[in-house]
Amino acid sequence: MTSQPPHAIPPRRRAPSIVGPLIIIVLGALLLLQNLGIVEWSVWSWIWQYWPVALILLGVEILLGRSSLGSAVGTVLVVVLVGLVIGAFILAGNWGANGVAAWWPAAGPIVTEPVSRPRAGVASASYRVHNGAGRIVMGSLPAGDPQLYAGTVSHRGSLVQEVTGDSHATVDLRVRGPIPLFGGEDGAGSWQLDLAPDVPADLQVRNGAGESVLDLRNLAIRDFRLQSGAGATRLTLPAMGLERGEIQGGVGELRVAVPAGTAVRFEVQHGVGAVEAAPDRYQRTATGWETREAATAADRAVVTIRTGVGTVWLE
């Protein structure tokens, strides 16, 4: 009698993850609605507060296993959470400042405070501006203005304004409040800030979520760092004196304008989305793009761009 080999039991295949694709679908739907003009970019300042929900859903899926039951439960949870968010918007019926739903339980009303510092004795400066969520608009003061910087900040929470140093001033501006990640320290706000145009400076700007509009063309910025978690960013580079820069963006459209005659090389690393460069201003390089002046210029600025999701425009 010939013995028959035992039948091999095929390994059980695990069901694919459902949470990751659903998150991508939601993000894609929001980006589509923004491109169609149905929702504003400022909605990210509200959504940014709830990114830990993704961790919760992933944890539930791992706990239940990637079985059909686990996938079904994960799907139901996502649908319920999205339904609650949409229902909250409908019940709210209106929006507060910066696209945040008016019913959001923020601590205290929005207040507007002036910020400024006399320029007397300052030969150079380092600026650090940190905002949890909201809109930042930055430009230059008129020539001959006696202030090193001046502007207004609308916010919840408390405004921190620290200036140290004499000939070289280190300026630290930030908002402490109840809105950001896990109830941290950075509150939501709306900034209008202008800097002295002829003071050589380094600049760091961090905006967790919201629109950033930075016009640096008339400023003597040598080095800048811009970090944006989610939201549209519009940046105009300095016309002269820039040595290096770095732009880090999570989700959102990025537009970078270079003044005519300025030599800049862009090293670009982007995830999902296209990079569009004006053909009459830029030429392709091995690592990105550069202005046509940069090919023959003895000195040129190098700007690194790292983005996650969204279109990058070089203008």
Residue 254, both tokens: 């990025």
- Cβ atoms of 217 and 147 within 8 Å: the answer is no
Q: Let me know if 176 is exposed, middle or buried by CB neighbors in 10 A (0-12, 13-18, 19+).
A: middle
Rounded-to-integer distance, Cα 158 and Cα 175, Å: 6
Altogether, the residues listed in the chain come to a count of 315
Residue 140, both tokens: 């230059």
pTM of the model: 0.68
- Cβ atoms of 192 and 137 within 8 Å: the answer is yes
Rounded-to-integer distance, Cα 251 and Cα 54, Å: 16
Q: Which pLDDT score is estimated for 89?
A: 47
Rounded-to-integer distance, Cα 200 and Cα 261, Å: 20
Q: What pLDDT tens digit does each residue of the chain (315 aa) get? A: 555 555 555 555 555 666 677 777 777 776 666 555 555 555 565 566 666 767 776 776 666 655 555 556 656 665 665 565 555 444 444 444 444 444 444 446 788 999 999 998 999 999 999 887 788 999 999 999 999 999 999 987 788 999 999 899 999 998 875 544 333 334 456 899 999 999 999 999 998 878 899 999 999 999 999 998 888 999 999 999 999 999 998 888 899 999 998 999 999 998 877 889 999 999 999 999 999 988 888 888 999 999 888 889 999
DSSP 101: B
Other Cβ atoms within 10 Å of 75 Cβ, number: 15
Taking each helix axis as running N to C, give the angle between helix 19-35 and helix 52-64, from 0 to 180 degrees, rounded to the nearest 10.
Answer: 150
Task: Decide the pairing of beta strands 124-140 and 111-118.
Answer: unpaired
Only one residue has tokens 């229902």, namely 87
